[in-house]
Every structure is written in C-alpha cells, then in structure tokens.
Amino acid sequence: MDSKQISKYFKRSLGRFGLSFSLLIMRYLPERAVYGFANFVGNLGYVLAAKKRQNALESLDIAFGKEKDAKEMRRIAKASFVYMARGVLELLHVVFHPNKIRQKVTIEGKDNLDRALSEGKGAVCVTAHFGNFPLMLVKFADEGYKTNSVMRNMRDPQIEVIFQEKRTQLGIRTIHSQPRQQCVSDCIKSLRDNELLFIQLDQNFGTGGVFVDFFGTQAATATGPVVFAMRTGSPLLPVFIVRNQDNTHRIIIEPPLHIEEKATSDETILVNVARITKIIESYIRKFPEEWGWIHRRWKSRPVSN
C-alpha cells in the first residue's frame, strides 16, 4: 500500500468514525445542544481544513472581490463552515426525531408548486448546494410529495450505503448521476409520473455542460434540468431553503418557469441554463453564508479560440 492509498484509507476511516460518532450522539443530544456542538465543529473545520478554507476564500474573491473587503470575505467563509456543520448535524438529529421537521421548516409559495404539478408533468425543482438542502427534501417528502433527487455517489461506498438507507427511511428516492443512461431514464420517468425531481445546478461541470455567466465570470454548468424540461414539457421550479436566526428554516418556491424557445436547441439550452443560474446567484448574493464556497465552481475554463 503506497502513501496515497494509506492517506485515502486514513481519511475514509476518519470519516466513518466521525459519522458513527455523530449518529450516536445525535440520537440522545438535546436539540439546543446540537447547535453549540455544530458551531465548535464548524469553527474547528475552518481552522484545520486549510485547503478547503483556501478554496472558499478564492471562490469568494472571484464572486465578491470587487464588492467586499478581505475581512468581510473571511467572515463569510468562516460562517459557511459553521452553517455546513449545523446542516449536517441537525439533519442527523432529524433522522432520529422525524417529527421535528414539522416545526423546523415552513414553506413559502406552496401554491407555485401545486400550480406546477397541476399540469401533470411533474416539476424539475432546480436548486443549489445552498442552505440545508437535504432537510428541504425531508420536508417535501413529509408533506406527501413524491420526492426524487439526483445525487452523485459518495467517494466512500460504506458511507453512501448509510446515507442511502437514511434517505429511503425518510421517503426520499435517490437517483444516482451514474450510470448516465439509467439516471436519464429514472429522471424522465419521475416527471412523467408527476413527481418532484430535485437537481442542484451550481457545481463545476467540466467540459460536458455550457458556460454561462455566474458572478461576472463564465462557469461550466450542467444542462440536465433544461434538457429534461424540454423533453417532457415539465415546468422548471426554482426552490431554495434559507436558515432563520432561530435555526428554523423556510423553503421559498419561486413561480414556475417554462422553457424560453430560441432558434436552435443549443441556443434554447444556453439561454435557459443562464436564466436559472442568475436566480441561483441572486439567492447567494442575499444569503452568502448559505452557499458551499469550498467548491471550486470556476475551475473549468472556456477553451480559447
């Protein structure tokens, strides 16, 4: 076993231990203590995870370098670490106390969702790695909506099995992004069955997507939500979850969007991906602590002609 394999084994073992420990204490920890523990974990992570911290600061500089000073960007980066820790731990707490979801999360704009579903073609719910996204899925499932979410397999198969089991227990159906053809088939079926299909459209997509403006810089972006809407006639529904000061949450459902047709299929995809991306940007601007700045969103660059 070489040094790279040893490092990988160590990181995965540490991750499994951390998850097992968190699951154990979340079963018994009072809710008020969850956030104190999360604040400690988030602040510690900001200090120890130097590479992730640097990624966050670099991403913030791309997005806000001309608008905010270094002190404010460091504050946002640190707060985003704390918010991520809160999100993970309160989600684990809800796993053991599922009735808490009804008092912790409210929905604004539910009429927009019901109007979209009244068309009988499901809804492509477009969102981001923003706020406590998994808690949002739990809320919709608890409300009785057939809830599907496209997700990548986690790098550690053992942890993926644990999370898959928990999502299923909470009424959430996982559609894995790979293999691709199976993913496409499952997504289209869910829409034709008039169900909710959640897709996060805010991560770097390498060479497989389109480049659209995001905070003034071109970002490689997936086309899946728009392609699914074009193929099925389903409305696009921007949906976000925002944390309140008291650590309750509100889900905001924007009015449904329909595909804006252009002269060619490629133009149609590009314009509509850009529309959705602008909505995602608007939420990040309002609530910057809620977004996962550690992701290198602008890693891929357009090929120069």
Which residues face 218 on adjacent strands? 213
What span, in angstroms and rounded, lies between the C-alpha atoms of 261 and 191?
A: 20
* Torsion angle (degrees, nearest 10) of CA 270, 272, 276, 281: 40
pLDDT tens by residue, the chain, 305 residues: 566 665 665 566 666 666 676 777 777 788 889 999 999 999 999 999 999 999 999 999 999 999 999 999 999 999 999 999 999 999 988 888 888 999 999 999 999 999 999 999 999 999 999 999 999 999 999 999 999 999 988 777 777 777 788 888 899 999 999 999 999 999 999 999 999 999 999 999 987 799 999 999 999 999 999 999 999 999 999 999 999 999 999 999 999 999 999 999 999 999 999 999 999 999 999 999 999 999 999 999 888 65
For residue 254, give the nearest of 92, 106, 107, 146 by alpha carbon. 107
Give domain limits for the chain: 3-290
CA-closest candidate to residue 16, choices 158, 123, 137: 158
